[in-house]
Amino acid sequence: MLVVPVGARGALPSWLVDAADPVVDPGWLAGALADTGNGGRPGGITNLPVPGRRPRSVVAVGIGDGTPAEVRTCVSIAVRRGQTLAEHGATRLVVALDSAAGPAGPEQLRAAAEAAVLAGYRFRDSSAPHPPRLASVLLVASTADEGAVERGRVAGGSVAWARDLVATPPNTADPAWLADRAVGRLGELDHVRTTVLGPRQLRAGGFGGVLAVGGGSASAPRLVVAAYDPPGAGTAHVVLVGKGITFDTGGISVKTTAGMREMKTDMAGGAAVLAALDAAAALGLPVRVTAVVPFAENHLSGSAYRPGDVVTHVGGRTTEVRNTDAEGRMVLADALAHAHRELAATALVDVATLTGAAKTALGARTGALYATDDALADGLLAAGRAAGEPWWRMPLAEEHVAHLRAQLDSPVADANNAPGNPGATTAALFLQPFTGGLPWAHLDVAGPARAGADHGDTVKGGTGFAVRTLLRWLESGAPGGGTVPG
């Protein structure tokens, strides 16, 4: 299957218009586009029958003005159509990227490579034979920037890995299994050392939050620490912390059936930080970065933690449990404290499906970004724009939050874990004392970690949201300043 990109107002690429022996006649194509109302809007699609010649299928797909976001949409639509045609015998997809707007640049090539890898993503665990899939996707452009394509291919592969971890059902993906997956994949990479702490080591290290949350489950918790330390890296040491709740029943404060249904995805933040580290190491980025992921299942049983418990975290701060369903902050507290006390972090970024309130506020396609540092916030926002992952900065400045701090008070501990509305912001305020005053960003991905429908190169299910933002940010050298394209 061959894809011809259609520019704004139906403009055709010069390589087609000027060709001596075009694969489709441009005049005829212009007519077909007009007849089908395809004016080049990104994602608009027109099938063109090509009797008796190869390729058998030519498809015209809108690419608009050829911006990276429009290229991403165009290639994603093409890949999904190609996968449908694969069930009828197509094996190869060829996408021409130079459009009427001009030749594809590095950002377009990278977006195209990511979409080629990701738009046809699916996870299946069925007894029926899998339908046939495309064997290859070939991207054609006049300015072949191999590096940009490679960065896109690697980013796409890491995002797909994050999606696999999120999609794996929770009866398989327990804390030990996920820790093994991390050790297995990251162990292949140069300059990465992955260590896993089990219950005994967690007790020795004072991880009271992880042990409390994981205490109700028959599958004991694990802490994964994956350190990428390349030769020649500067002094900056970014620690990425991810929420790794392998299933969130709510615990004793049990969720409803509807509220629990998607809770195998409650480790999406953990998967995202492991995948970002995977990509950073695979690309050999010159920056020191460590991913810390507490994996635990929030279950109910006779050994489950309960409302009323007081838990002591790494470093000695205590929390009064008021709601066992506010478990993410309990495990993140330990991990953040560990990062600044034991790992000599210079900046902290956590990623978590932390609050339904973040999803209520921003919907399912925008991540909530909290930061104590404007340069850090700006770097991540710019990285998100370049990556095609939208973030919205939420307030953490004194004028917005000073009056909320009293909600965290507890008569018996340093704080309580269910401080009320605004829920996403009070969760951030709960975490802040565990960051040791380091520059810190908190990314609440409760909305965008999971998609209800296909859009762009995202397909229904776990999205891998935040992987590409973190990768772009690390690429930009942002831990020590620097800029991101876009």
User: What is the binding site for ligand BES (CB under 6 A)?
Assistant: 248, 266, 323, 325-328, 353, 355-357, 359, 418, 423, 446
Smallest gap, in angstroms, from Cβ of residue 356 to ligand BES? Answer: 3
Task: Identify the bridge partners of residue 228 per DSSP, sorted by sequence position.
Answer: 192, 289
**Residue 439 in contact with residue 203, Cβ under 8 Å?**
no
Task: Give me the phi and psi of 5, to 5 degrees please.
Answer: -80, 135
Site string for Zn ion, 202-241 (x = CB under 5 A): ----------------------------------------
Burial per residue of 285-311, b for 16 or more beta-carbon CB atoms within 10 angstroms, e otherwise: bebbbbbbbbbbbbbbeeebbebebeb
Pick what 387 binds: Zn ion, ligand BES, Mn ion, none; C-beta below 5 to 8 Å, kind-dependent.
Answer: none
Pick what 279 binds: Zn ion, Mn ion, ligand BES, none; C-beta below 5 to 8 Å, kind-dependent.
Answer: none
- Alpha-carbon distance of 195 to 481, in angstroms, equals 29
Tokens of 192: 């990465």
Nearer to Zn ion (CB atom), residue 241 or residue 245? 245
Task: Identify the bridge partners of residue 292 per DSSP, sorted by sequence position.
Answer: 225, 241
Smallest gap, in angstroms, from Cβ of residue 173 to Mn ion? Answer: 17
- Alpha-carbon distance of 150 to 50, in angstroms, equals 33
Q: Write down the H helix ranges in 363-459.
A: 374-387, 398-401, 423-431
Nearer to Zn ion (CB atom), residue 245 or residue 467? 245
Nearer to ligand BES (CB atom), residue 309 or residue 327? 327
Instruction: Give the strand order in the sheet containing 415-416.
Output: 310-312, 318-320, 415-416
- Alpha-carbon distance of 156 to 158, in angstroms, equals 5
Smallest gap, in angstroms, from Cβ of residue 434 to Zn ion? Answer: 17
Q: Letter for the amino acid at 251? A: G
Q: Which stretch binds Zn ion (CB under 5 A): 61-69, 127-135, 167-175, 321-329?
A: 321-329
Smallest gap, in angstroms, from Cβ of residue 323 to ligand BES? Answer: 4
Task: Give me the phi and psi of 37, to 5 degrees please.
Answer: 70, 30
CB atoms closer than 10 angstroms to residue 374 = 11
| Residues acting as catalytic residues | 255, 329
- Alpha-carbon distance of 431 to 442, in angstroms, equals 9
Nearer to ligand BES (CB atom), residue 353 or residue 463? 353
Contacts of 310 (CB under 8 A, 6+ apart): 318, 319, 320, 321, 412, 413
Nearer to ligand BES (CB atom), residue 266 or residue 475? 266
- Alpha-carbon distance of 262 to 302, in angstroms, equals 24
CA 181 to chain centre: 17
Nearer to Mn ion (CB atom), residue 70 or residue 325? 325
Pick what 36 binds: ligand BES, Zn ion, Mn ion, none; C-beta below 5 to 8 Å, kind-dependent.
Answer: none
Pairing of strands 237-242, 92-96: unpaired
Based on the shown chain and the rule CB under 5 A, indicate whether residue 328 belongs to the binding site for Zn ion: yes
Smallest gap, in angstroms, from Cβ of residue 137 to ligand BES? Answer: 32
3 state SS of 237: strand
Place of tokens 């490679």: 150
Nearer to ligand BES (CB atom), residue 430 or residue 440? 430
- Alpha-carbon distance of 384 to 392, in angstroms, equals 10
Residues 149-168, interacting with Zn ion (CB under 5 A)? none
- Alpha-carbon distance of 262 to 259, in angstroms, equals 7
Smallest gap, in angstroms, from Cβ of residue 211 to Zn ion? Answer: 17
Residues 259-278, interacting with Zn ion (CB under 5 A)? 266
Q: Letter for the amino acid at 249? A: T
Nearer to ligand BES (CB atom), residue 306 or residue 341? 306
Q: Which residue of the chain is nearest Zn ion when measured via CB? A: 248
Smallest gap, in angstroms, from Cβ of residue 391 to Mn ion? Answer: 22
Smallest gap, in angstroms, from Cβ of residue 326 to Zn ion? Answer: 8
For residue 64, CA distances in Å to 37, 77, 99, 115, 342 come to: 14, 13, 9, 16, 50
Please give the residue ranges that form the binding site for Mn ion (CB under 5 A): 248, 325, 327
Nearer to Mn ion (CB atom), residue 127 or residue 257? 257
Pick what 456 binds: Zn ion, ligand BES, Mn ion, none; C-beta below 5 to 8 Å, kind-dependent.
Answer: none
Task: Identify the bridge partners of residue 192 per DSSP, sorted by sequence position.
Answer: 228
Site string for Zn ion, 275-314 (x = CB under 5 A): ----------------------------------------
Q: How many residues bind Zn ion (CB under 5 A)?
A: 4
Pick what 249 binds: Zn ion, Mn ion, ligand BES, none; C-beta below 5 to 8 Å, kind-dependent.
Answer: none
Smallest gap, in angstroms, from Cβ of residue 420 to ligand BES? Answer: 8
In the chain, the largest separation of any two C-alpha atoms, in whole Å, equals: 82
Site string for Zn ion, 236-255 (x = CB under 5 A): ---------x--x-------
Burial class (CB in 10 A: 0-12, 13-18, 19+), 436: middle
Applying CB under 5 A, which residues contact Zn ion?
245, 248, 266, 328
